[in-house]
Amino acid sequence: DTGVSQNPRHKITKRGQNVTFRCDPISEHNRLYWYRQTLGQGPEFLTYFQNEAQLEKSRLLSDRFSAERPKGSFSTLEIQRTEQGDSAMYLCASSRDRNSPLHFGNGTRLTVT
């Protein structure tokens, strides 16, 4: 169990650019979640995958955001045409099943200048 891995740890980009983050969940976990955490706030749910199927999306996930989990293993979160309001920590979490606790990664901190 190597834990949930997220890359990159930090990303600085200019407004209008596209960015992509990667999450590698714990290997036997079929459920994967993306959350966004702004400074001084609690995480907010963005989207949920069970295997490769994206089963839940928050209204926070605007059309500039897209997430994939093509083979039911790693996941990517892409933000197109970034805005300064997208600056946040993006957290990934995984779990074995619905009743198992979520295991979080260290997050990717995005700064949009």
Partner 1 sequence: AQTVTQSQPEMSVQEAETVTLSCTYDTSESDYYLFWYKQPPSRQMILVIRQEAYKQQNATENRFSVNFQKAAKSFSLKISDSQLGDAAMYFCAYRSGGGNNNAGNMLTFGGGTRLMVKP
Q: 30 or 80: whose CB is closer to partner 1? A: 30
Q: 15 or 53: whose CB is closer to partner 1? A: 53
Nearest one of 113, 88, 109 to 9, comparing CA atoms: 109
Which residues contact partner 1 by CB under 8 A?
3-4, 31, 33, 40-45, 48, 50, 55-56, 91, 95, 98-102, 104-107
CB of 99 to partner 1, least distance (A): 7
CB of 9 to partner 1, least distance (A): 9
Q: Is 5 left (phi over 0), alpha (psi -120 to 50) or beta?
A: beta
Are 13 and 112 in contact by the 8 Å Cβ rule? The answer is yes
Distance CA 109, CA 84 (A): 13
Q: 50 or 87: whose CB is closer to partner 1? A: 50
